[in-house]
Amino acid sequence: MHRRGLGRLFDFLKGVHLGPTPPRSEFPSMVELRFYPGPNPRVEARPIERPRSLPHLPLLTHVESLEPTDWLVTSLSTFALNVSSFLPGQLPAYARVYHPFDSDGNPRTWRELEALTGEKLRDRSTAADFALTNAANMQARVGELPLPLVEALVEHLAPATTTPELCYFALWEGYADSVAPRTLEPKLELPNRAYDVFSGPLAAARTGLSVSSFGYRSANLWWPADHAWCIATEIDFAWTYVGGPRDCIDAVLADPRLEAVETNALAEW
């Protein structure tokens, strides 16, 4: 929603009486608000509920064995210590891909926001704060990789693996709008995080994993069967890590569609 429309929605909601507060147990995990402007503006709220059974997901199949995740369980033994806490540390090269800021529907880069606000990103903590609170009053997408960036990455990742037809996609179990039922098993257990895991061709990275009719949700971790590369979108970060062959990372860094900087496995971020 553009800022002007969002402002009108907030102004309208100030005058809305929502009735008595329901018991806590009746609150849905998430709601979608649809704003209908006009002479008699109104808001419709629709609860978002996770499905009780797994819906059909184009190109994706839920895995019944976690054997394909063994290399992650072995590699990711720490939490938020450095880059290798989020994706395996033995890959040849790494990049950090920033999620763009939204400005009335027009994406803005982190470099643009730094220049506009005069702020400098010194470390992971200041970057995480900057993504949500800055002088330009813009926010970057946190915990999910926007589809245009997924499309760009798929182009570079496809020639960098011998198994583009067999990849794996892990979705954090805690999203209120997840397509995965809460009871779905087995789950990939990593430090402080658990995931539902699916398999499919690399093209399945484009499959949205949200039950919401509004948006697209990406997988948090994805990798090919030959372990040539790995993508990691931590739920609290407004950037995504890409690790893989040197040529692949060089292509990511050079792509004008991606705002990417080089990092390494032992770097804080």
Report pLDDT digits (tens) over 78-131. 999 999 999 999 999 999 999 999 877 788 999 999 999 998 888 899 999 999
CB 49 within 8 A of CB 29: yes
pLDDT at res. 34: 60
Helix axes 147-157 and 246-254, enclosed angle (nearest 10): 140
Beta-ladder partners of 223: 168
pLDDT at res. 268: 94
Please check the confidence at residue 7 and state whether its pLDDT lies above 50. no
Report pLDDT digits (tens) over 41-89. 777 776 778 888 899 999 999 999 999 999 999 999 999 999 999 999 9
pLDDT at res. 215: 79
Tokens of 103: 């400005």
Report pLDDT digits (tens) over 191-200. 999 999 999 9
Report pLDDT digits (tens) over 226-267. 999 999 999 999 999 999 999 999 999 999 999 999 999 999
Report pLDDT digits (tens) over 153-174. 999 999 999 999 999 999 999 9
pLDDT at res. 49: 81
Question: Residue range 2-7: average pLDDT?
Answer: 45
pTM reported for the whole predicted model: 0.84
* Angstrom distances, CA of residue 265 to CA of 10, 34, 86, 143: 43, 43, 9, 20
pLDDT at res. 38: 66
Proportion of the chain above pLDDT 70, given as a percent: 85
How many CB atoms within 10 Å of residue 131? 23
Q: Which has the minimum average pLDDT: 47-56, 76-85, 139-148, 175-184?
A: 47-56
pLDDT at res. 4: 45
Annotate the chain with three-state secondary structure: CCHHHHHHHHHHHHCCCCCCCCCHHHCCCEEEEEEECCCCCEEEEEEECCCCCCCCCCCCEECCCCHHHHHHHHHCCCCCCCHHHCCCCCCCEEEEEECCEEECCEEECHHHHHHHHCCCCCCHHHHHHHHHCCCCCCCECCCCCCHHHHHHHHHHHHHHCCCCCCEEEEEECCCCCECCCCCCCCCEEECCEEEEEEEECHHHHHCCCECCCCCCCCCCEEEECCCCCEEECCCCCCEEEEEECHHHHHHHHHCCCCCEEEECCCCCC
